[in-house]
Amino acid sequence: MVIALVTGGTKGIGLQVALQLGKEKFYNESIHIIVTARSPNEQAFTQLKEEGISYEYLPLDLASDQSIFDLKKTIKEKYGKIDILINNAAVASSPKKDPSLRDSYLDIYSVNVAAVAIIMDEFKELLEQSKHPRIVNVSSTLGSLAVAQLPNSPQKLYTTYTITKSALNMLTIIYSQKFAEFNIKVNATCPGYCATELNGYQGTKTPQEGAKVIVRMALIKDDGVTGGFFNLEGQAENPEVIQW
């Protein structure tokens, strides 16, 4: 059985990734989904059960190194491996009331960048036990330096969040190179501007639509790309490259 870990997998895009990925097969094997979040979401669990997804919930607080270590320990003891790691969870603001600019940067970076790096480092050991290891980092075109230089680009409206996605893109490039000798494919995706809690449900795409590119990149074959940045828009059948 293929073991897939989806952070932030109990709502929004992460839940849709779990629902879609759990119905797929990877190299003819069924996929078991581990969804993580800080707290359980019974409504999400009901939906996963009703759609016949093989899943389990494990708690994870991305602001806590110990929580990441505990998650790895649990998965290692139970499965001994991870085949697919999807770093989906992210925040757009600090949890503090009236945070300083420094606190805003530190708190958002802690989850969107540092936690992803720690998870990739920690779970490398378990990914090495997979025949077809994959990492997908959920980024955004807001993190694209090429897009930022276009007239009327939206980046300046979401400065702190945008910069963390640029950093996540750099992590993707670096880790794709670091992990290449272990045949671990590492790619970034942009689900698009989806209506989720993160943006107050103002997005123009559904989470179901946004999840598609993430699932596609999670299931790429052994001769597929690594170190790329992709989206999937409209009626396109295949993910398209985004300029860094």
Q: Kindly tell me the sign of the dihedral angle through the C-alpha atoms of 42, 108, 61, 77.
A: positive
The percent of residues in the chain predicted with pLDDT above 70, rounded, is: 98
Instruction: State how far the Cα of 213 lies from the Cα of 99, in Å rounded to an integer.
Output: 34
In sequence order, which residues have a C-beta less than 8 Å from that of residue 84 and are 6 or more positions away? 2, 3, 4, 5, 21, 26, 31, 133, 134, 135, 136, 218
Exposure of 32 by Cβ count < 10 A (0-12 exposed, 13-18 middle, 19+ buried)? middle
Half-sphere exposure of 50 (CA within 13 A, CB side): 6
pLDDT single digits (tens) 116-140: 999 999 999 999 999 999 999 999 9
Residues in the chain: 244
How much is the pTM? 0.95
- The answer as to CATH 3.40.960.10 being correct for domain 2-241 is no
55 catalytic? Reply is no
Torsion-angle region of 227 (φ positive above 0: left; ψ -120 to 50: alpha; else: beta): left
Distance CA 151, CA 142 (A): 14
pLDDT at 121 (0 to 100): 99
Residues 186-217, buried b or exposed e (16+ Cβ, 10 A)? bbbbbbbbbbbebeeeebebebebbbbbbbbb
Q: Within a 13 Å sphere around the CA of 168, how many CA atoms are in the beta-carbon half?
A: 35
Please tell me which residue in 55, 57, 161, 175 is annotated as part of the active site. Answer: 161
Tokens (6 digits) for 75? 């998965």
Whether 53 has a pLDDT exceeding 90, the answer reads yes
Mean pLDDT, rounded, for 97-112:
95
The 10s digit of each residue's pLDDT in 153-188 is 777 777 899 999 999 999 999 999 999 999 999 999
Active site residue 165: yes
Among the listed residues 72, 165, 185, 212, the single catalytic one is 165
